[in-house]
Structure 1
Amino acid sequence: MNFLILFPDNKKAVTGNFCSALQYERILESLGNNVELINKYDNQEAEVLIAINADKNNSDIRKFHTDNPKSKIILILSGTDIYPCPSNRAIDSMEISNVLVLLQSQAFNQVPEKYRKKSSVIHQSIERLKLDSQALKSDSEFKVVLISNIRPVKDPLIAPRACQMIPASSKLKITHVGYCLDSKFEDLLFKESKNNDRYEWIGGRSVLETRTILSQSDLLLITSQHEGAGRVVGEAVQLEVPIISTNNDGVMGVLGEEYEGYYPVGDVEALTALLIKAEKDKSFLEHLNLQCKNKKTLFSVEEETKAWSEIINDLFV
């Protein structure tokens, strides 16, 4: 079967959408399909279009639907498609799609009720990479990593603000990995890196470099106001790195509402308190890690491949 995977292009950064497109390509090819990745629909033919991002790709999704009335459309709903609420363009894409794929269970609440029957949750699996194991965790530093491209929805300034409230006796250091997608933050974060001993923004890195930094960290920090699901959650769970996150639906839909590493969106005092507790209280950190480990099965490549196989088979019944 011939598939097109349509995803938003961003030449400035390695994005979650790009990583998802590559992952879906690998899975579909493993199931014996022909796959082409595209940033724009230009009259290519396919039996199935998989579109990542309902809002940004709406015009291309509608054009494909018009040009290929017998073909099927699978729509992957990203975080910006459903949070804080779907746009008219996103809803139009939902209307003409055959299947909506959600990346975590709480996303159902954001999908208009009339489209929920054609919605399915597929957790994104995490492939194991061969990582550099030479640089190991050290007692000389409590390493926290923030992996997030820089834009307003990620609340990028809260991490350096929290660093300024950490006691002098702490060994905590936050390393921020991510491309700057909003220029108004660039100078601010450069200044923080220069003047704030506990915070360092190192810019974007390759998938392998980023995963290696994560593997050598004591804690993953997620500061997003809204999140679709966050691939990095699965990466941290697989690597057994505990997580502190905002209580956003995307992360809660993966780790569960009972997870104890959440803080309210934008609450720098609550974030600071959690960071201090994670560094000082080893039993708390171990408890968070255990809660994360219990979610490992969600990120199985075999389970995601099986889910995709079932959706494709059901499309043509």
Structure 2
Amino acid sequence: MHITLITPAPRGSRAGNRATAERWAHLLRAAGHRPRIITEYDAEPTDLLVALHAWRSSESVRQYRAHAPTGPLIVALTGTDIYRFQQTHPEATRYSMTEADALIGLHERVADDIPKEFHNRLHTIFQSAQPLPRRQPPVQSRFDVVVIGHLRDEKDSLRAARAARELPAESRPNVIQLGRAHNEQWQALAEQEARENPRFDWKGELPRWQVRRHMAKARLMVISSVMEGGANVVSEACVAGLPVIASDIPGNVGLLGPDYPGYYPVEDTGALRRQLLRAEREPAFLEALRAGVDNRAPLFRPEAEQAALERVVNAVLHPYGKTDT
């Protein structure tokens, strides 16, 4: 079956939407489909259109509907769709959601934040991750904490660095930040933080294998976002057995579960600092975090994501009398 995936992120981009599109294409290909990835709808014949990002792909959805008024359509909702563009660009975002035969949410609390009229179309797919080859011995003189993702407002990217600034002198946390600055303002902020904060080490954008190497050696990961649609880096941490401290936003709670012990109030530097200290000083707390991510790891296996994706594809195509071939 020919399946077209639309993502606003071009080939070679390291944006999350592009990574999701490429992973889904791989999973669909493994299931016997013939997927292709494009950035704008081009009217090529397809059995199914999957649009990643309701707002940014809304023009492609319009073009698709003009070309194929009853064509099967799946729309995957991103964090900015759910937590920003529903409010700032409601017409375009709602149009894509209304036209979709199925909506995909990437964490289990998406239904709480979209209109009830869309609940019966909503399917949850947890993004999968490959396990690390092996955990590496941590640096004994430091308590390395990784923060992974491009530096931008949605990520509250320097929160962990700021929390580490005022730790007691004898504490060992060292924040390793991986990701490029989204703009000149973030570039300047990160450079200033690196100059002033001896506990902060900004590595910039690194190849994927180097990111995974840092994860393999770290003792902890912080995800400090103010909005997330379901960050794949959380999936990666869970599969890797890497403890996480996370802001208590729906996108994190919807991945780690409501009973996970490692949350802190979003944008609360002091609360994050206290969690970092607990993780360093209390082995039982760090072990509870590790047990929490281990418990969630089965949700993020590739076979689970493939099965969930196939269920959505089949649910959409069934009314059209098409088979999964």
TM-score bin, normalised by smaller chain: over 0.9
Matches of residues 142-181 of structure 1 in structure 2 within 5 Å? 142-181=143-182
Query: Shift of residue 263 of structure 1?
Result: 0.6
Task: Decide whether the 8 Å contact of 1:82 with 1:110 is kept in 2.
Answer: yes
Deviation per residue, 1:57-110 (Å, 9 max, x gap): 111111112112242111110100101462412111000011101111111111
SS in 1 for 2:246: strand
Task: Decide whether the 8 Å contact of 1:12 with 1:181 is kept in 2.
Answer: no
SS in 1 for 2:75: strand
In the alignment, structure 1 segments of 5+ residues that lack a partner are none
1:260 corresponds to 2:267: no
CA root-mean-square deviation: 1.6
How many residue pairs are counted as aligned between the two chains? 315
Deviation per residue, 1:13-68 (Å, 9 max, x gap): 51111110111001100111111111122222211111111011111111112112
Residue 3 of structure 2 corresponds to which residue in structure 1? 3
Task: Decide whether the 8 Å contact of 1:260 with 1:288 is kept in 2.
Answer: yes
Matches of residues 37-52 of structure 1 in structure 2 within 5 Å? 37-52=37-52
CA pair 11-178 structure 1, distance change in 2 beyond 3 A:
farther
Residue 19 of structure 2 corresponds to which residue in structure 1? 19
Letter of the structure 2 residue corresponding to residue 163 of structure 1: A
Q: Give the one of 121, 125, 134 matched to 1:118.
A: 121
Letter of the structure 1 residue corresponding to residue 78 of structure 2: S
Residue 29 of structure 2 corresponds to which residue in structure 1? 29
1:57 corresponds to 2:57: yes
1:109 corresponds to 2:91: no
Query: Shift of residue 207 of structure 1?
Result: 2.2
SS in 1 for 2:218: coil
Residue 128 of structure 1 corresponds to which residue in structure 2? 131
Task: Decide whether the 8 Å contact of 1:12 with 1:179 is kept in 2.
Answer: no
Q: Which moved more, 1:141-150 or 1:155-164?
A: 155-164
Structure 2 CA distance for aligned equivalents of residues 302 and 11 of structure 1: 25
Structure 2 CA distance for aligned equivalents of residues 250 and 217 of structure 1: 23
Residue 291 of structure 2 corresponds to which residue in structure 1? 290
CA pair 160-129 structure 1, distance change in 2 beyond 3 A:
closer
Same amino acid, percent of matched pairs: 29
Matches of residues 79-98 of structure 1 in structure 2 within 5 Å? 79-84=79-84, 86=86, 87-88=89-90, 89-98=92-101
Residue 323 of structure 2 corresponds to which residue in structure 1? none
Structure 1 CA distance for aligned equivalents of residues 97 and 157 of structure 2: 31
1:99 corresponds to 2:107: no
Query: Shift of residue 122 of structure 1?
Result: 1.0
Letter of the structure 1 residue corresponding to residue 128 of structure 2: S
Task: Decide whether the 8 Å contact of 1:220 with 1:244 is kept in 2.
Answer: yes
CA pair 156-309 structure 1, distance change in 2 beyond 3 A:
closer
SS in 1 for 2:130: coil
Query: Shift of residue 12 of structure 1?
Result: 8.9
Deviation per residue, 1:178-204 (Å, 9 max, x gap): 121122111121121133110011111
In the alignment, structure 2 segments of 5+ residues that lack a partner are 319-325
Letter of the structure 2 residue corresponding to residue 16 of structure 1: G
TM-score w.r.t. structure 1 length?
A: 0.95
SS in 2 for 1:124: coil
Letter of the structure 2 residue corresponding to residue 26 of structure 1: H
Task: Decide whether the 8 Å contact of 1:145 with 1:217 is kept in 2.
Answer: yes
Query: Shift of residue 172 of structure 1?
Result: 1.0
Structure 2 CA distance for aligned equivalents of residues 157 and 175 of structure 1: 11
Structure 2 CA distance for aligned equivalents of residues 15 and 208 of structure 1: 16
SS in 2 for 1:189: helix
Structure 2 CA distance for aligned equivalents of residues 154 and 307 of structure 1: 27
Structure 1 CA distance for aligned equivalents of residues 41 and 176 of structure 2: 38
SS in 2 for 1:316: helix
CA pair 196-12 structure 1, distance change in 2 beyond 3 A:
farther
TM-score w.r.t. structure 2 length?
A: 0.93
Structure 2 CA distance for aligned equivalents of residues 127 and 100 of structure 1: 25
Task: Decide whether the 8 Å contact of 2:130 with 2:239 is kept in 1.
Answer: no
